[in-house]
Amino acid sequence: MIGNKQLNKFFAILNCIIMFGGGVYYIHSCEKETCMKFITNFCLYIKSYYIIHSLMYIYEKKYIYLPHHVCAFFMTCILENMNDVDLKNALFGLTYLEISGATTNIRDILKDRNELTLTKDGIIWVSYVFIRQGIYTYNILYQIKYDTIEEKIFYFMSILIYMMSFYWSVIWAKSIIKYNNLFGLNDLKAN
């Protein structure tokens, strides 16, 4: 039987797949005649998701993710007004973020099922860090121009997303060390 928490995670994974697919479609296949209509509908979908998912987090009292959702919501509002080149570059970074978001949800499902091993957790953590602190950082620093006020706000929101991701990466690494008693740290505390 699937509980509310797992249903929320499956919903989030499905959303990551849809957002990744939409981003890849726009970047590689969207034709000029249909691009504007597609991006308007795609952004409407993304904003709707962040509102619904935020309400789910409020219901579950998981407030730590709300600042991320607020930033993502406003970044999506700005996407609609970007020129084609910057929009494609921004979507490139955001589609990679969705991959890392899916991996964290998969991790939570494995953890809830007691199937999360040190190896699985380590691989998921490394992929998350590589995407969030590597690919996304390069994307926000070198691939998008920040000429307009909207683009500067997008940059600021991107930096906030980066900082939250960095914080979560450190917390996650500490939990891997703690729960697997790496480096004998738990033994040192007992003495």
pLDDT score for 124:
96
Q: Which two tokens stand for residue 155?
A: 């940059």
pLDDT score for 191:
44
Residues 80, 169, 51, 148, Cα dihedral to 10° = -20
pTM score:
0.84
User: How much of the chain exceeds pLDDT 90, in percent?
Assistant: 52
By three-state DSSP, how is residue 88 classified? helix
Residue-wise pLDDT tens digits, 10-57: 888 888 899 999 999 988 888 877 788 899 999 999 999 999 989 988
CB 160 within 8 A of CB 140: no
Residue 8: how many CB atoms within 10 A of its CB?
A: 19
pLDDT score for 131:
95
Residue 180: pLDDT band with limits 50, 70, 90: confident
Average pLDDT, the chain: 88
Full DSSP string of 47-85: HHHHHHHHHHHHHHT-GGGHHHHHHHHHHHHHHTTS-HH
CB 166 within 8 A of CB 132: yes
